[in-house]
């Protein structure tokens, strides 16, 4: 009976600990909203609020469970007995390179991020990833210089930094992956012909007249044009 009562209570209000201090907040809020409810105001560590910018990396643990867990504050809803702490910034290694001067060689990752060779394949980075990426697998692909594999496996990375914070060998997976996607985009992926053609058209002034007319159109007319615009079929 007692347990049931507690359960009912839990559905309304949960007890969380923000940086060690206890707060009672409504259940169902995200960690971010719960913190705001508790009176915090985010001036860093919060961007899109939609799970895309990676600015709200969070570490938490739930009372009675020894496991340290990772999440995005804007995505994860609070749980009763949650101890949470923000990691808005990861002081990680990020070498400077000029993409124009790089080549998509098999050694490019080892050259800029030699520490990837220390990967012991413990998979702790993968476990930490709030995006469910196979982080260790792309680090491994980087070791063998497989740019495409790294780019594809890391495509959904939002650079929250949690993998780097957890790696026992101090690798910075997300920066390695960023280099891969840059190289992939610049040197490996086939160029889109139609984009190149369109750029030529723009440069040759094909649309200048149209743009000029649009600029001179009044706001009301613009709105009307927008409403009536042709929508391309899916």
Partner 1 sequence: MIRLPYYPGCAVQTTARNYAISGIAVAEKLGVELVELPKWNCCGVFPSLATDDLMRHLAPIRNLIHVQEMNDSGVVQNENRVVTFCSMCFHTLKEASLFVKDEEKLGKINTFFEREKEFVGGVKQGYKGGIKALDFLEVLRDIIGYEKIAKEVKKPLKGLKVAPYYGCLVIRPREIGIDDPENPTILENILEALGAEIINNPNRTQCCGSYHTIDRKDIVAKLTYDNLIYPIRNGAEVVVTCCPLCTFNLDFRQKEARELHRDLKEIPVMYYTQLMAIAFELDKQFYGVDLELHHVDPRPLLKAKNLY
Is the Cβ–Cβ distance between 229 and 214 less than 8 Å? Answer: no
Q: Which two tokens stand for residue 97?
A: 């390179």
Tokens representing residue 32 in the block = 């971010």
- Which 168-187 residues touch partner 1, going by CB under 8 A? 168
User: Starting at the edge strand that comes first in sequence, how are the strands of the sheet with 82-86 ordered?
Assistant: 21-26, 13-18, 82-86, 57-62, 69-72
Q: For ligand FES, which residue of 18, 34, 70, 74 counts as binding (CB under 6 A)? A: 74
Q: What are phi and psi of 161, to 5 degrees?
A: 95, -5
When asked if residue 49 is in the footprint of ligand FES (CB under 6 A), the reply is: yes
Minimal distance in Å, beta carbon 34 to partner 1? 24
Token pair of 3 as six digits: 């347990």
Contact status, residue 73 vs residue 101, Cβ threshold 8 Å: no
Nearer to ligand FES, 141 or 162 (CB): 162
Candidate list 18, 25, 56, 179; residue touching ligand FES; CB under 6 A? 56
Smallest distance from the beta carbon of 30 to ligand FES, in angstroms? 9
Positions touching partner 1 (CB under 8 A) are 106-107, 117, 119-123, 126-127, 129, 132-137, 140, 143-146, 168
Residues in the site for ligand FES, rule: CB under 6 A?
46-49, 51-56, 72, 74
């Amino acid at each position: 009976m007692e347990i049931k009562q507690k359960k009912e209570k839990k559905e309304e209000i949960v007890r969380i600990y923000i940086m060690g201090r206890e707060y009672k907040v409504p259940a169902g809020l995200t960690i971010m909203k719960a913190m705001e409810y508790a009176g915090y105001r985010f001036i860093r560590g919060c961007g899109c609020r939609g799970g895309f910018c990676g600015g709200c990396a969070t570490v938490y643990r739930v009372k009675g469970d020894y496991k340290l867990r990772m999440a995005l504050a804007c995505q994860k809803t609070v749980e009763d007995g949650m101890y949470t702490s923000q990691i808005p910034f990861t002081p990680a290694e990020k070498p400077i390179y000029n993409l124009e001067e790089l080549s998509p060689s098999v050694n490019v990752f080892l050259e800029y991020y030699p520490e990837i060779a220390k990967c012991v394949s413990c998979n702790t980075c993968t476990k930490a990833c709030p995006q469910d990426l196979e982080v260790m697998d792309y680090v491994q692909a980087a070791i063998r210089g497989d740019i495409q594999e790294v780019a594809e496996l890391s495509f959904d990375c939002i650079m929250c930094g949690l993998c780097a914070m957890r790696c026992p060998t101090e690798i910075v997976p997300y920066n390695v992956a960023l280099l891969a996607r840059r190289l992939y985009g610049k040197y490996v992926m086939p160029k889109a012909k139609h984009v190149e053609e369109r750029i030529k058209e723009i440069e040759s002034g094909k649309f200048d007249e149209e743009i000029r007319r649009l600029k001179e159109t009044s706001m009301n007319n613009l709105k009307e044009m927008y409403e009536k615009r042709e929508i391309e079929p899916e």
